[in-house]
A and B are shown apart, each in its own frame.
Chain A
Amino acid sequence: MLHIFCPYCGEHREEAEFRPKGQAHIARPLSPEQCSDEEWADYLFFRDNPRGIHHELWVHATGCRKFFNVTRHTVSYEILETYKMGEKPKVTAESLAKGGRS
């Protein structure tokens, strides 16, 4: 069971308090009507699904009800960081490849 640091509560809590909501940073196109069907499908359904570093959206469902982001390794399940909505990840697959692991 994962142990997740809620960046809003400022504490580690049990996974059971949270719900995963899929890939993070999937922004809704600002002008949906200008999107092609392909672009709209990409937004709705197509995901990175990496084997390795993944940025994902979670909600502290039975806690503060805040959504936030988690950078997690999908094989080791190690959580490398959690960060608030609107923030950018500090740890990425690219930064790790460059040895910039924080």
Chain B
Amino acid sequence: MQRYSGFGLAKHALTHNENWQRLWRNPTPKKKYDVIIVGAGGHGLATAYYLAKEHGITNVAVIEKGWLGGGNTARNTTIVRSNYLWDEAAALYEHAMKLWEGLSQDLNYNVMFSQRGVLNLGHTLQDMRDIQRRVNANRLNGIDGEVLDTQQVQEICPILNCSADARFPVLGASWQPRAGVARHDAVAWGFARGADALGVDLIQQTEVIGMRIEDGQIVGVETNRGFIGAETVGCVAAGNSSVLAKMAGIKLPLESHPLQALVSEPIKPILDTVVMSNHVHGYASQSDKGDLVIGAGIDGYNGYGQRGSYPTIEHTLQAIVEMFPVFSRVRMNRQWGGIVDTCPDACPILSATPVKGLFFNCGWGTGGFKATPGSGNVFAWTLAKGYAHPLAAPFSIDRFVSGKLIDEHGAAGVAH
């Protein structure tokens, strides 16, 4: 792999940038692999990368029906945080956070992880109780965070409407300084480059159309380019997980919903932290290019169309103008939608299935991006060993039968 550095940039400039190498190959699929990952989004690519790097399993194919990193990885609002309420979720997201903190160096690819802090606003007395509860839990779990009052919130974000006569005045917030944003595409590309360099085959434009199962054991996948064998298959397909599961005769407790987001036209830096409000129902940050990156909740119906309904966007911008009245004259440039696989308890599924060798990593709903390295890391472990990583174990599909749900709806009240 060609190492990247500032010195390298200068060197290549002298040769007119004509000697840069490919970030990944475009291989023809082999007949058989040790492990197949279905879905080359951030989570799938991270899984492949850690399989190769930490478990020495390099005979791996990542099969992608479109282009790598083209699903929710390319469509999210890039927020990274780990201030989840329940121990199980907090541990998983904090595991991811620690990996984020060294990811650019590990991948030798700058994923622009910017720890500019996240404010989760409270607007009612119950919001504030919930915030206290969550921040206390975070602290005792070793996750940074503090509870701020209105004045402190105003100091961190001077343009936020903190006046007492707002419709829902800001009563305070939780503040996680280590949280922030990352460059979403770079995460996919960095993991792809890293995985490819370790020997993983990234097979794009190849759609899985069936699962071959013999005596309850997965033996490979049927694709539009023919059969590809493997006795371990990990499906990491977000919104399309239910479709893959059906091929294997499995039902999942998932619904795929449109989740919309939007960006403003680029403006000079004015918002240098991430502000989220469950109650007013919107959130915003500003990218390094100057776009305000904005999102809110899912559309209530099932949808695979990568688009939602206009009233959702309209309501989101009403919330943004309510929170940031100075943005009234800033223009929305573009909106889009992803397909999010929502779980009844707003927590993911990292699980074996009744089919031997077939695993699913799904159900991240609106909050998957922030978990990308952690999800890939524990799922790789799970695929390598054949049983759940300790951090993944609570996220087994069995929890829906036993009733041991991990209800993080408070954390996912707005998409993120």
Chains A and B touch (C-beta atoms under 8 A apart): yes
Residues of A within 8 A of B (CB): 1-2, 15-16, 19-20, 22-23, 37-38, 41-42, 44-51, 54, 56, 72, 74-77
B166 contacts chain A at the CB level, 8 A cutoff: no
Please give 11 more A-B residue pairs, beta carbons under 8 A apart, in addition to A45-B344, A51-B256.
A19-B300, A22-B255, A23-B255, A41-B401, A45-B253, A45-B400, A47-B251, A49-B255, A50-B246, A56-B301, A74-B304
B252 near A49 (CB under 8 angstroms)? yes
B401 near A74 (CB under 8 angstroms)? no
Residues of B within 8 A of A (CB): 240, 242-243, 246, 251-256, 300-305, 307, 309-311, 344, 400-402
**A interface majority secondary structure:** mixed
Q: How far is the CB of A69 from chain B (nearest CB, A)?
A: 13
Given the complex of chains A and B, what is the CA–CA distance between A75 and B307 in angstroms? 9
Q: Which residues of B contact A45 (CB under 8 A)?
A: 253, 344, 400
A49 near B310 (CB under 8 angstroms)? no
Q: Which one of B240, B246, B254, B309 contacts A1 once the chains associate, using CB atoms below 8 Å? A: B309
Q: Which residues of A contact B304 (CB under 8 A)?
A: 51, 74-75
B301 near A20 (CB under 8 angstroms)? yes
Q: Which residues of A contact B242 (CB under 8 A)?
A: 47-51
Q: Which residues of A contact B254 (CB under 8 A)?
A: 47, 49
A-B contact pairs, 12 of them (CB 8 A): A1-B311, A2-B301, A2-B309, A20-B302, A37-B402, A41-B253, A47-B251, A47-B254, A51-B256, A51-B304, A54-B302, A77-B305
Q: Which residues of A contact B401 (CB under 8 A)?
A: 37-38, 41
Q: Which residues of B contact A19 (CB under 8 A)?
A: 300
A46 near B311 (CB under 8 angstroms)? no
**Beta-carbon nearest neighbor of B301 in chain A:** A20
**Beta-carbon nearest neighbor of B345 in chain A:** A45
Given the complex of chains A and B, what is the CA–CA distance between A41 and B344 in angstroms? 11
Q: Which residues of A contact B307 (CB under 8 A)?
A: 77
Q: Which residues of A contact B310 (CB under 8 A)?
A: 1
B256 near A74 (CB under 8 angstroms)? yes
Q: How far is the CB of B242 from chain A (nearest CB, A)?
A: 4
Given the complex of chains A and B, what is the CA–CA distance between A62 and B307 in angstroms? 24
A16 near B311 (CB under 8 angstroms)? yes
Across the A-B interface, give the 6 residue pairs with the lowest CB-CB distance, nearest first. A49-B242, A45-B253, A20-B301, A20-B300, A41-B401, A1-B309
Q: How far is the CB of A6 from chain B (nearest CB, A)?
A: 15
**Beta-carbon nearest neighbor of B402 in chain A:** A37
B311 near A42 (CB under 8 angstroms)? no
B311 near A15 (CB under 8 angstroms)? yes
Q: Which of B256, B301, B309 has the most CB of A within 10 A?
A: B301
Q: Which one of A20, A46, A51 contacts B252 once the chains associate, using CB atoms below 8 Å? A: A46
Q: Which residues of B contact A77 (CB under 8 A)?
A: 303, 305, 307
**Beta-carbon nearest neighbor of B313 in chain A:** A1
**Beta-carbon nearest neighbor of A70 in chain B:** B301
**Beta-carbon nearest neighbor of A15 in chain B:** B309
**Beta-carbon nearest neighbor of B300 in chain A:** A20
A56 near B302 (CB under 8 angstroms)? yes
